[in-house]
Amino acid sequence: MSDAPLDGSRFDGLRFDGSSFDYDVIVIGAGYGGFDAAKHAADHGLRVAIVESRDMGGTCVNRGCVPSKALLAASGRVRELADAEHLAGFGIHAAPVRFERQKIADHANQLVATIRSNLTKTLERAGATILRGQGRLAGLQQVTVRESGSGIERTISARDVILATGSEPFVPRGIETDGRTVFTSDEAVNLEWLPRWLAIIGSGYIGLEFADVYTALGCEVTMIEALDRVMPTFDPDIAKLAARKLIDGRDIDARAGLLARKVTPGCPVKIELADMATKELVETLEVDAVLVATGRVPSSAELNLAAVGVETERGFVPVDERMRVLVGGEPVPHLWAVGDVTGKMMLAHTAAAQGTVAVDNILGHSRQIDYRSIPAATFTHPEISSVGLSEADAKVLAEQEGFELGLVRSYFKANSKALAELEGEGLMKLLFNKASGEVLGAHIFGLHAADLIQEIANAVARRQSVVQLATEVHTHPTLSEVVEVAYKQAAMAVAG
C-alpha cells in the first residue's frame, strides 16, 4: 500500500464540503484509546471534541482493568493471609482470616470513581470538549451526536474523525444472562455476592483472573473450556506450569473439550454441557452462578459505517498500521479507528498507543504501530505475561527467513529474591534468532511477571540482540535476574 495519501476521488460524493469545521478532531468513545487520542491532539493545539455515551474511561476504567485489579489486590491479600503453609515457611502463624465483601467491592468502586474523575479533569484541562451522548458517522468528516437524556440530535464536523468505541463481552448463543446468576465480567467487577459454587465459561485471562478472585474469597469454581486444553491461548509450557499453581492447586475443577451449549439463569443455574467434537450432551450441571468469560466483540454496530462505505470484518473496523480506516484496502480520507474496535490487540495499553499513533499521523508525523513489542499480562497470583511471537509463530518465521530459532528457559527457583519470598515456582521462556541474536519474544509465569515482561518488550521494540543485552548489569537480588540469566544463556547459544 502506498504511504502517500489518496486523492480521495472515490469518496468525493461523500466528502463534507464546508469551508470550515467545528473541530479539528472528533473522537467517538472515551476509553483509553479515545482518551489518549483526544489528549494527545489537544496537547498539540488541535480543537478536540470527544463523544461518550456512558462513563468516561470506557471498559478498562469502569468494567475491566481497573476494578478487576482492585479486586485482585484485595483478594490476593486474603489468599496470602489464608495460606498457612506458606506463612509457616517464614515462621509466621496468622489468625483465621476475615474479610468484608462489601468493603472489597467498595475499594474497587472508589478506585473507578477516582480514575474516571481524573481522566475527565485531564481532558478538560487539556482543552478538549466532552460531549455526552451517542456518536455516529453522518458522512465523511461529519458526526451526529444524540445527546444523553434529551435525545436531541445535532451534526458536527471535523477535519478528522477517530472511532474508539471499544468492545463488549461476547455471550455465545444458548447462554442467557440475567446480570445476577448468569453474568459477564461487566457485572463480576461489582462483586455483589459470593456464590458458593461458580462456573466460569472460558479459561482465558478474564476467566483466570476472576477464578483467582473468587477462590481466594472462598468460592468453589468449575472452569469450562470448549477447546481441547485449558488456557489454550497461552504458551503450552507456561500454561502447564501455571495450571498446576492456579488451577490444580486451588478449589477449581477444570474441564476442557466441553461446550456450554445452554445456560439457564435461576436458582440453581442449569448448564447443559456437550462434547465439543460431537455436540452430544454429556451432563447437566446445577450451580449457584455462571460467569461468562468467552472473550469480547467490537462495539461498532451503532457507528453507521455504511455512511462512508466501510464494511467491518466480524464487526471489527479494518485499519492499516497508521490507524487509517480502510475500504477495499485503501484508506478513507480523514477517518481513523483505534482500540478494541479494530481487533488488533484488545488491550487498554494497545488502544492508548494506537490513539497517539493516529494523532501523530493526523499531525503529519508518519508513524506505524509495532504490535510485536506490545506486552500482555494476566494478573493472577502469580502472574503470567508475554510479548512478541509465540513459539509456534517464531518457528514459522525461522523457516520462512531461513534462520535457526533459539530458545532458552530461566527458572525462578534459581533466583535469590524469588526464594526469599518462597515463590520459586516460575519460568521464563526466551525466543531469539540464533544467527543475529535478535529477541523475538518471551513468555513468563511467576512472581511479578507483569512487571518483568517490560524489559523484554523494550528489547523487542528496539530489535536488540541478546549478545548486547547479556552485558547489561541487573540489580542483585531482584527478580530481574531471571531475565538476565536468560539473556546470558541466549548469548552463549548465539556465540555457539
Catalytic residues: 476
On whether the CB atoms of residues 384 and 203 are closer than 8 A, the answer is no
Place of cell 463488549: 168
- Write phi, then psi, for 171 (nearest 5 degrees): -115, 110
Kindly give the residue spans of alpha helices, DSSP state H, lying in 190-263.
205-216, 236-243
Q: Cell numbers at residue 209, please?
A: 483472573
Closest CA to 271 of 257, 256, 282, 261: 261
Instruction: Measure the N-to-C terminal CA separation of the chain; round to a whole number of Å.
Output: 40
Task: Go through 11-21 and write b for each residue having 16 or more CB atoms within 10 A of its CB, e for each that does not.
Answer: beebbeeeeeb
Rounded distance between C-alpha atoms, residue 27 and residue 145, angstroms: 11
The amino acid occupying position 58 is G
Task: Go through 331-364 and write b for each residue having 16 or more CB atoms within 10 A of its CB, e for each that does not.
Answer: bbbbbbbbbbbbbbbbbbbbbbbbbbbbbbbbbe
On whether the CB atoms of residues 228 and 257 are closer than 8 A, the answer is yes
